Amino acid sequence: MSNSRFAAWMTWALVFGMFWTVVSRVSPDQSQAQTGSVPKEGFTAPDFTLSLLDGGEITLSELRGKVVLVNFWTSWCPPCRKEMPAIESVYRSYKEIGLVVIGLNLTAQDSKQDAASFAQEVGLTFPIALDLDNSVGTLYRVTALPTSFFIDRKGVIRSVIVGGPMNEAVIQSKVEELLQEDQ
Amino acid sequence: MFPYLRLGPFLLQMPLLALVVGVWMGLTFVEREAVRLKLNKEKISSLVFYGLVGGIVSARLAYAAQYASVYLPNPFSLFSLNTNTLLPEAGLVFGILIAGIYAYRQKLPLRKVLDALTPGLAFFMIMTGVSHLLSGNAYGTPTRVPWAVYLWSDYRQPTQLYEIFFALVVFMIVLSRMIPTNAPGLRFVQFLSLSAIARVFIEAFRGDSAILFDGYRTAQVVGLGILVVCLALLRNWEGKDEHESKIG
């Protein structure tokens, strides 16, 4: 194939491409919004109800309208321990304007006592949820610790950070972006 | 999908590893091509290095600039291994700009340099597809075609596999120099136009396309724009040496 023939093919490709672009447009009734609850950016966060370390229960879907950070952790995981003060600090700064943090302890791989003593040692004030049978960890396909899910006011996962430790600026930037959005 | 691999205390992010392999192997192809085109191999390697480092640093700085109120009081937070705090578009633009400035200052022949980069870029495109396959990103629309893959709670178009297939085809075409050229720079233009066509085609099956306006997919519009530029370059560069053409 010569260059001029290649150019001719490309011209045809351009015409076909324009046609293809028009016919493959996303129509208003066929939005790109994702359906289903999957632990992935762009999808609705899978719902869960867990008991809290301090008593009571927490249900994720009841937090619609708020920005939620779900942080999976265990007390024996060094990066989890290291990032907790940063999470606590961001929580204190933003809780009044709609941030909820759920420290989701994978208790099946930890112990309630160790989780409680670590929370006390660091002075955590946000709710600590206990995943006693690893069901939420499995639901969220948590393969590494820590893992953090940033969920917007509509309950959609907007960012997933696997591994750590996250510094305060990382958490703040993710949270601020979501808090600035309208409900 | 195989996003993470734990090796003792280390967590290997497989999609990132695929991109690193893409850069590493791609650089090997670039250096080989540079030697064939009688270009200074070390200078071409430096160009890639400056482009990459400049791109990564720019991507982080651009992200931080978006959240200046957060990063200004904590400038050391810029130094983080977290890939979630990068702005890839800014990284791409500034990476190209920095590599371009280096090429200009070193008086490297632009069109020949682009030809030298072509096999490496084509290989990197394959590994980008592999990276998407490992992470489950760039996923397809729900479908019931027999070759659909089950991903993210639905049967979907295997767009990552389409991406790898087309990138492989383009790589084979540019590596084997299947389409003859009669001027420097045209190999790169061939690669760019074939990749743009592939993107325009595959994007229609994506379930996570960014929408520009009126339902038009951003990647398709950008792909068509690149194709128009490629056609202009093909006509302008064909049969002409670097000093003869108006562009480059």
SS3 A83: helix
Domain count, chain A: 1
Nearest CA to A154 out of A76, A61, A69 is that of A61
Give the residue with greater pLDDT, B113 vs B243.
Answer: B113
- Chain B residues inside the 8 Å CB shell of A7: 231, 234-235, 238
- Chain B residues inside the 8 Å CB shell of A38: 152-153
- Chain B residues inside the 8 Å CB shell of A45: none
Structure confidence at residue B81 (pLDDT): 79
Which helix (H) or strand (E) segment is A73 a member of?
strand A67-73
CA-CA-CA-CA torsion sign (B113, B118, B120, B124): positive
Position B38 pLDDT exceeds 70: yes
Q: Do A7 and B71 touch (CB under 8 A)?
A: no
> Who among A3, A25, A32 is closest to B181 (CB)?
A3
> Who among B6, B84, B224 is closest to A144 (CB)?
B6
pLDDT digits (tens, 9 = 90+) for B187-202: 999 999 999 999 999 9
Position A79 in a domain:
yes
Instruction: Report residue B158 as tokens.
Output: 């295997």
Position A118 in a domain:
yes
Q: Do A42 and B208 touch (CB under 8 A)?
A: yes
> Strands A57-59, A128-130: parallel, antiparallel or unpaired by DSSP?
unpaired
Close Cβ partners of A146 (under 8 Å, ≥ 6 residues apart) = A71, A72, A73, A77, A79, A80, A83, A163, A164, A165, A166
Position A11 in a domain:
no
Give whole-number Cα distances, A171 to A86, A91, B59, in Å: 8, 10, 18
Q: Do B77 and A170 touch (CB under 8 A)?
A: yes
Position A121 in a domain:
yes
Instruction: Report residue B223 as tokens.
Output: 């792909």
Instruction: Report residue B170 as tokens.
Output: 């383009």
Identify the domain containing residue A74 by its residue range.
34-180
Q: Which of A24, A76, A93 to mutate to test the interface with B (most CBs of B within 10 A)?
A: A24
Position A169 in a domain:
yes
Position B247 pLDDT exceeds 70: no
Rounded Cα gap, residues A77 and A85, in angstroms? 14
Mean pLDDT of A92-117: 96
Count CA atoms closer than 13 A to B120's CA, side-chain side: 22
Confidence band for A183, pLDDT divided at 50, 70 and 90: low
Position A27 in a domain:
no
Q: Do B67 and A11 touch (CB under 8 A)?
A: no
ipTM above 0.90, yes or no: no
Structure confidence at residue B246 (pLDDT): 46
A-to-B residue pairs, Cβ atoms closer than 8 angstroms: 132
Instruction: Report residue B177 as tokens.
Output: 């120099």
Cis peptide before A165, with omega less than 30 degrees from 0?
yes
Confidence band for B84, pLDDT divided at 50, 70 and 90: confident
DSSP-assigned beta bridge partners for residue B10: B7
Structure confidence at residue A114 (pLDDT): 95
Taking every pair of Cα atoms in chain A, the longest distance, rounded to a whole number of angstroms, is 76
Structure confidence at residue A36 (pLDDT): 76
Position A25 in a domain:
no
Residue A151 sits in a domain whose CATH number is 3.40.30.10
Share of chain B above pLDDT 70, in %: 97
Instruction: Give backbone dihedrals phi and psi of A102, rounded to 5 degrees, phi first.
Output: -115, 115
> Who among B153, B190, B224 is closest to A21 (CB)?
B224
Mean pLDDT of B10-19: 87
- Chain B residues inside the 8 Å CB shell of A32: 207-209, 211
Q: Do B220 and A32 touch (CB under 8 A)?
A: no
Position A1 in a domain:
no
Q: Do B82 and A170 touch (CB under 8 A)?
A: yes
Close Cβ partners of A158 (under 8 Å, ≥ 6 residues apart) = A41, A150, A151, A152, A174, A177, A178
